[in-house]
Amino acid sequence: MGKGPTTRRYTDEFKRDAVALYRSSGRPLKDVARELGVSDTSLGTWIRAAKQEASSGEQEAAKEEARLRKRIRELEDEIEILKRFTRYWVKGESR
C-alpha cells in the first residue's frame, strides 16, 4: 500500500509568522521554507497573499483619507459661512 500525497493545513497565525520570518531573515525563500518544513510554493503563495492584503488595506486607507479631506473642506466652508454671518449680525446690532 502506497501513501498518497497528504494535504497539511496551516493556521493563519503560522502563515503570518512564516511570512514575517521570510521578510525579516533576508534569506532565500527555499531556505526559509525548508527550515519551516513547508514547500517553497506554499510559502510563496502566503507571501503573495500578504502583499495583496497589504495593498488592499492601503487602498482602503486612501479612500478613507479622501473622504476625510472632503469632510474637512466642507467643515471649513461651514466655518467661513458662520464667520460671515457673525460679522453681518454684529454690524446689524451696532446700528
Q: In the predicted model, is pLDDT for residue 3 greater than 70?
A: no
How does DSSP classify residue 37? T
- The predicted-structure confidence for 8-32, as pLDDT tens digits, reads as follows 789 999 999 999 999 999 999 999 9
For the whole prediction, is pTM greater than 0.75? no
Residue 67: predicted pLDDT: 96
Q: In the predicted model, is pLDDT for residue 5 greater than 90?
A: no
Q: List the domain boundaries for the chain.
A: 12-94
Angle 7-17-24 from CA coordinates, rounded to 5°:
125
Residue 68: predicted pLDDT: 97
